[in-house]
Structure 1
Amino acid sequence: LYLNDTLRNNGQITLQHNISNCQIQHNIMVCNATGKQFILMHNTTSTFATNAIDWNLYSGSASTSAKFEWRKVDQNNFTNWRSASDQDDHSFFAATVDFTDASNLDFSLSDTSPAINAGNPAFVSAIGEEDYFGLARVAGTEVDIGMAEYGSSSAIQPTAMTDDATLIDYDRATLNGTVNPNGFQTSAYFEYGLTTAYGSTTTPQDLGMDTLDVPLSELITGLTHKKTYHYRVVASNTNGTTRGADRTIVTPPMPPPVVTIDPQPMLLPLGGSATFTFTATGGLPRTVRWRKNNVPISGAAALAESYAIPTLTLAHAGNYSVLVTNGTSSDLSTAVPLGIVNTTPALVVVNENATLTLTVSAAAPSGLLSYEWLKDGNPIAVDSRITGVTSSKLTVKLATDADAGDYVCRVTMGALTLDSGERTVSIRHKPVVDPFAPALPWIVSGSVTDIVTAQNDPASFRITGLPSGVTYNRLNGQLSGKPLRAGTYTVKITATNLAGTSALSTSVINVSVLPTAGIGTFHGIADRSLDLVQDYLGGIFRFTSTPTGAISGTVTFGARTWRFRGRLDAVEGADPTAVIAISRGRAYSALAMAITINRTSGVVNGTLSDGKNSTGVNGIRNHWNSRSQPATNFAGRYTALLTPPGALDTDPSYPKGHGYGTTTVSTSGTVRWVGRMADGSSVVHSTIMDSAGKFPLHRLLNRSLGSAQGWITIAVDSGSLFADNSVIGDVSWFKKPETSTRARNYREGFADHSLTALGSRWLRPAAGDLLLDLPLPPSVNNLQLGLTHGGTDTAAQSAIMSQAFSLRTNHTAIVSPGFTNPLKMTIALNATTGGMSGRFTLSDPNPSGSTRPIVRTAYYYGVMLRLQENGGGYFLLPALPDPLHIPPITSTNSDILSGRADLMATPPLPP
């Protein structure tokens, strides 16, 4: 065991657990250094007595410092180990073992080794038993310790014999020899050279440690022809080196090169690739040099066994050969031609009656190429028009349609042929303009998408006489735009190509006018929306449309107004439409207003969208003109009330009074509404009216916190010669919460709700007649004004919330003598406008306990309805103080409530 103490626990041998019946004898154990352990014995049972450790040689450490372990206890010297383990009685230590060459793992013993004859004298080798090297196990007086038995036979060197070389050629040979290792590990090689100094060796081969002859062969290359080489075999083992006898070989002369297969001629396409090859015999190494036109070609590619041209050009045409050379001589191949032909196809267009010229690009050594032109695969006959059929240039004069077809030039070089690229020839004629008629009838502001076409591949068009607003693309004849004026247009068209200009083509096109209902002034309403930056306030739009289809106008959302321009898109027989982009500056995204105008009624329907959200828009057209179509049957003054639904009477969050308005209609169809909402908000609005008397109403209220919008219609009554025209409609009313802490009038706002519009035409009574068509002669207390809602139900005088008046022919109303007026109510009636107004006073006990009553004076405003023979309006009444409320409610911060004032004829007393 040699230096076997570098792994587990630094011991040469580890014995543990219940190991038994082991014989560890006649071993040499060499450790790495002083202090390393030889034997680690972990056994703790009594079975160890069956093991035998003895007749061993220890080295590498003195016995006094040698390390052993016995049952997990270190024994610090050889004596302690023997005493503790009762082993190794005949073993000993030596400073050195004296191996033959331990560094090269030759563990045979030298003649000075202390292991010689140091074994157990009682050892008797078995019949045929040998040491590691196959020698007799006992060679001396006693058996040696270790793997090798020392004796005279252990110093035998290998034998070596140089044999004749075989397979001798001008540059190579196979060297042969025989070696006997004589029982020792042996390697062998050949040395060779031009002298007996040799100078070159082969790679050593391991021949093992046999005792028989071992053949050895090695192929050597790179020899020089016609030279004498010396060689011999060399064998070595630990006992020495043996060299065989010197022998010689003579290399024969190198065979000269002979080109047996020449490069081949080639006729190839331009842009393709070419590769020249050859076959030659003769000795190696050899050099190659390719030649063009008998001139060596430069560059590394010309030195290769094959010559490649990756991309052929006409300049590559020529005669190619190859010169092959070795140490004996050279041989030049036959020169062969390389021809190049352009095989790229092409389209050729020639004008009618012009000269057609076709050429082929080809190159080869002079005089080797011949040509033949073919048309549609057939030979071409030569005549007075056609020349050059057998040359690289074909000429055809006065070309006609019969000359159109596929042409190729067949190029021949010796036995090789290659067709040029196909020339597809077509004859170009002057354009012929196709008859033009619009696919759909043209109409003012209608999109024109027709295209003018012509035969024979026109390159450009010239078109005149198009209506204003319509243009064309001169390259492809595409028409675009929208006509701006109606009329009959004579359109003149020519087309041009390289062959010339076509004959003039004429087309008569009628452009229809826009529908009358699509031209004029339009007003309408945008539906309420929580999106689109309108805060549910709704909106109104106004625009005009001209006879050319141009649109301009405004759209108002809340307090913001944006202008827009656009153009109608009309189609004959269909309603005009438009999609108009409305810029809202940098703060908001643009709006798109998409509308359709009914071509008969002028009614507008559509949407406003910001791309994510949208709301509906609806509008009307002003049907009237004071001169050509006056609104005579509608013109005049009208009064109307705006009444909340009865379902809200018990809900204190909504105003309860009548809103009202006085409307003036002109013969031009303009409408002006002046009035108030039931919370006192002023409403002034000007707009237009359609043919049926319908008009939009929209007004921002309460500092843009609320709005009123809806549709009002004046219904004519021809039976009364339009004196009894009536007013009907619905108005949406909405208010957001107040932002001011001082606000008292419905400070929490109120939800959107619908008011019913009802009224009639107002006419001043004839002289001597009474207002509201009350009967004559005037009677006492023929008129009554009643008050409801607005907090009147909690007033101390709630039971007397009406007052009788006597209406007189001078249109004044008084409290007749002898009748009381507990509310101190007044009334003023305007026979010209139909307006009514007045005041009343309430007196209530002071909730603070003071004897001074709470006095509240309220004013009411409204209008009279002639046809309905009544009137109405609203009043605003502060609520009573409440000192117990937290915080206290006073006369200066209490809510102001809207109440209803109703004017009516007093029913006559029963007879």
Structure 2
Amino acid sequence: MLLFQRTPAAQVLLPEVNLISTLASSGSLRTAITVVAGLGAYDRVAGATTLVQLAPSRGASTVTGRVGGDLTAIFQITGTPTPPLGWELESGEVPGMELTYNSGEGIAALVGKPLESGTFPIRLVATHGPDRFGRNFTVSITGQAGVSITVQPTSRTVAFGQSVTLAIQASGSEALSYQWYEGVSGDESLPVGGDENTFTTPALETTTNYWVRVSSDLATVNSRTAQITVQPAPPEVVDAVFPAATVGATYSHTVTAVGEPSRFTLTGLPRGLRADAVTGRISGRPEVSGVFQVQVRAARGGSSSPPVSFPLVVKALSQGLVGTFGGLIQRDAASNRGLGGFVSLTTTSNGSYTLRASTTSSSGAARAGAVAYSVKGRLEAAAPQISAKVGGLDLQLSLNAETGEMTGVLGTAGVNGWRARYHATFRPAESLAGYYSAALRLADVGDHGVVTLPQGTGFLTMIVGSNGGLTVLGRTADGQAFSSAAFLGSQGQFWLYTGLYRGGGSLQGEMNLTEEPQVPFFGNVIRGDLTWRKPAVNELAYPGGFGPVNVEVEGAYLAPASRGHVVLGLPETGVVSLHFSEGEIHTSLTNPDLDVVWAETRKFLLPPALENAGRVSLNLNPATGALSGQFSLVDGTFTRNKVAFKGQVIRGSDGDLRAEGSFLLPQLPTAGQAANRTAILSGRVELIQVRGEPAR
């Protein structure tokens, strides 16, 4: 706040007169001097800092004038320790007038010729550094005699290419005429329009000013300038062809426009794609196929282009890439400690996939079992369609839409698989569905008779559903029960993978189920090759481990998958021979081999005890083909009592060999060796037809 201080009149009058002489016309100057001189000793009156009007209305808060007439409004501030350094109109303005002053003097003037009639509130402020003192005044301007503008033409903003209608309202004692002009008020170089109080502009592409002169026989008044601000021209979308997209595949395309667009609006995109409003880039993975009409608008400021429609073709994912895939992970020391594994993959028509893998971690404990992993994602447009991390290893899979093959790598281990061929409703595996069995035998001749390898015959049974899915249950030659599940490929191929020995070993490989069209079902056979690995373990049966060793698979159809059927391959009614071999059974003094009768009741008739040296018991289930029993060996005072054996009816290439399996035989103890600490070896059991016609 400016401080009050009385100031001698002589110190005030002279600078004020000097200022007035520089600002006002001669007539105004005389008036101003008279007014100031007439103040007398006003500053000797005690009071606070005061800002007053000196002229034309001394002491009043209202300044009056007329449009077009000379007007000088003089203001003075008193009661300050020093004159103000500056003056300003803090708010308000009077068209045609401006504020003038000399810095460091207590006088300011509002000088000019008012251009418009009306009431104009203003706030005048005197400043000295951070100190400010102000007062509100009202400037009232009347029109010239006979003419008064009551409503001025209005400035506005319009879109590019738009026209606008301007209007003015005026009153007068005589008839009024109107002349519109392009330009600022007072510029008569470009007359436009007719003698009307309204004017419609042409379509505007640039910002343009207009004003109007209102005249009567007595007077003329100019309106204020109306500025019509024109927004920039809208951008123009560039015609272009959208590249085709494929369901599930990564897509990217950028729409363009000339005219420096600031944003884009795109509608009609298929689900899965999105547009960047700033760059116009379309990206994502479309989830549906079809032809989509995409509308594009480009905008700048308030201007927007008309919509332009582009067709976007989204091609359906090849049907050869949609479905269920599966296969084996090959044994690899670096990636899965040589234990292999399997993958199953389901893909959808929108390009999404779910992958499951079972394999042994390369970094886990030595006896750690297989770990199940699950990964979800979207197929890429080209091979490899799948790239993901599984158990810390890089997985890449390529799918062949034509052949249905799935190939790739997990770490450094190869992956090989195929697409499921059958569907319970649309493509049922009618001629392949059923109940099967197969023998698992050592494939390499060099492995036959090797005591460090199980010499018995393993076996499996398998149920194939109408959807081509299959489940496997089996038993290895050293007594390990296992299970597996898979499905049939286009060539009847399927895989088997099972972890063994508490995760330290495995049995895996690929097999084929083929059919003989001339012999429906009866001609369906299984062939394949497996590999079998056991780790070194602290147990009596093969503690040093083995493998992987090669195992051949041979089997055939037995019965429909439903219950209540008698399997094929049972012995003919008559005599069959039960034969035991391998497992060092030949070192025993007891020979458990036995001829028995297979009766019409589908039961075995055993010989008298005197003819059954090994005290053999024997059972064969006609509904499943499962063979089971036991025998005993007596060697002096040492008896190996009730040695169990298990087997399965197998329809193989040898028509007389009706069933085969294995037994686990504790060995004779050596000197000083405890009987319960002897090695256990695997031997083979066979059921051979020796009478009657070959089984059907």
Shorter-chain TM-score tier: 0.5 to 0.7
Structure index of larger Rg: 1
Residue aligning to 1:577 = 385
Q: Deviations over 1:825-857 (max 9, x none)?
A: 232111111211122222223xxxxxx243343
Tell me, in whole angstroms, the C-alpha distance in 1 between the residues paired with 2:450 and 2:334. Answer: 28
Distance change (3 Å), C-alpha of 1:520 and 1:701: same
Q: Unpaired runs of 5+ in structure 1?
A: 1-350, 355-382, 385-396, 401-426, 585-589, 846-851
Deviation at 1:773, TM superposition (A): 6.5
> Which of 474, 482, 499 is equivalent to 1:675?
474
2:526 equivalent to 1:727: yes
Q: Deviations over 1:774-824 (max 9, x none)?
A: 55xx34x2x222222111232234xx5632222222222223579933222
Q: Deviations over 1:582-601 (max 9, x none)?
A: 4x4xxxxx332211122134
Residue aligning to 1:43 = none
Distance change (3 Å), C-alpha of 1:810 and 1:763: farther
- Give 3-state SS (helix, strand or coil) of 2:242's partner: coil
Q: Deviations over 1:226-262 (max 9, x none)?
A: xxxxxxxxxxxxxxxxxxxxxxxxxxxxxxxxxxxxx
Tell me, in whole angstroms, the C-alpha distance in 1 between the residues paired with 2:255 and 2:380. Answer: 22
Within-5 A mapping of 1:162-181: none
* Matched positions, count: 458
2:549 equivalent to 1:750: no
User: Contact 1:763–1:866 at 8 Å: present in 2 too?
Assistant: no
Distance change (3 Å), C-alpha of 1:624 and 1:771: closer
User: Contact 1:712–1:728 at 8 Å: present in 2 too?
Assistant: yes
2:366 equivalent to 1:562: no
User: Contact 2:566–2:623 at 8 Å: present in 1 too?
Assistant: no
Residue aligning to 2:420 = 622
Within-5 A mapping of 1:524-535: 524-532=327-335, 534-535=336-337
Question: Which amino acid in structure 2 is aligned with residue 577 of structure 1?
Answer: Q
Distance change (3 Å), C-alpha of 1:398 and 1:510: closer
* TM-score when normalising by structure 2: 0.61
* TM-score when normalising by structure 1: 0.47
Residue aligning to 1:40 = none
CA RMSD of aligned residues (A): 3.2
Within-5 A mapping of 1:171-250: none
Question: Which amino acid in structure 1 is aligned with residue 582 of structure 2?
Answer: H
Deviation at 1:429, TM superposition (A): 5.9
Residue aligning to 2:255 = 452
Tell me, in whole angstroms, the C-alpha distance in 1 between the residues paired with 2:432 and 2:568. Answer: 22
Residue aligning to 2:440 = 642
Tell me, in whole angstroms, the C-alpha distance in 2 between the residues paired with 1:581 and 1:772. Answer: 47
Residue aligning to 2:431 = 633
Distance change (3 Å), C-alpha of 1:438 and 1:890: farther
2:664 equivalent to 1:876: yes
Tell me, in whole angstroms, the C-alpha distance in 2 between the residues paired with 1:579 and 1:637. Answer: 38
Q: Deviations over 1:478-508 (max 9, x none)?
A: 2211111122211111222359333321122
Deviation at 1:682, TM superposition (A): 0.7
Within-5 A mapping of 1:410-809: 430-439=234-243, 441-497=244-300, 500-532=303-335, 534-558=336-360, 559=369, 560-570=371-381, 577-582=385-390, 584=391, 590-609=392-411, 614-645=412-443, 646-738=445-537, 740=538, 743-763=539-559, 772=569, 778-779=573-574, 781=575, 783-797=576-590, 800=591, 802-809=593-600
Tell me, in whole angstroms, the C-alpha distance in 2 between the residues paired with 1:904 and 1:438. Answer: 73
Q: Unpaired runs of 5+ in structure 2?
A: 1-158, 163-188, 191-202, 207-230, 361-368
Tell me, in whole angstroms, the C-alpha distance in 1 between the residues paired with 2:554 and 2:344. Answer: 26
Deviation at 1:457, TM superposition (A): 3.7
Deviation at 1:570, TM superposition (A): 2.8
Distance change (3 Å), C-alpha of 1:519 and 1:600: same
> Which of 638, 647, 659 is equivalent to 1:862?
647
User: Contact 2:565–2:623 at 8 Å: present in 1 too?
Assistant: no
- Give 3-state SS (helix, strand or coil) of 1:468's partner: coil
User: Contact 1:788–1:801 at 8 Å: present in 2 too?
Assistant: no
> Which of 798, 808, 822 is equivalent to 2:613?
822
Deviation at 1:880, TM superposition (A): 0.9
Tell me, in whole angstroms, the C-alpha distance in 1 between the residues paired with 2:322 and 2:542. Answer: 44
Deviation at 1:510, TM superposition (A): 2.5
User: Contact 2:632–2:639 at 8 Å: present in 1 too?
Assistant: no
Tell me, in whole angstroms, the C-alpha distance in 2 between the residues paired with 1:755 and 1:712. Answer: 11
Tell me, in whole angstroms, the C-alpha distance in 1 between the residues paired with 2:442 and 2:666. Answer: 20
Deviation at 1:691, TM superposition (A): 3.2
Question: Which amino acid in structure 2 is aligned with residue 547 of structure 1?
Answer: S
Question: Which amino acid in structure 2 is aligned with residue 893 of structure 1?
Answer: R
Deviation at 1:907, TM superposition (A): 6.5
Q: Which has the higher contact order (CA 8 A, sep 6+)?
A: 2
Deviation at 1:770, TM superposition (A): 10
Tell me, in whole angstroms, the C-alpha distance in 2 between the residues paired with 1:710 and 1:771. Answer: 26
User: Contact 2:342–2:357 at 8 Å: present in 1 too?
Assistant: yes
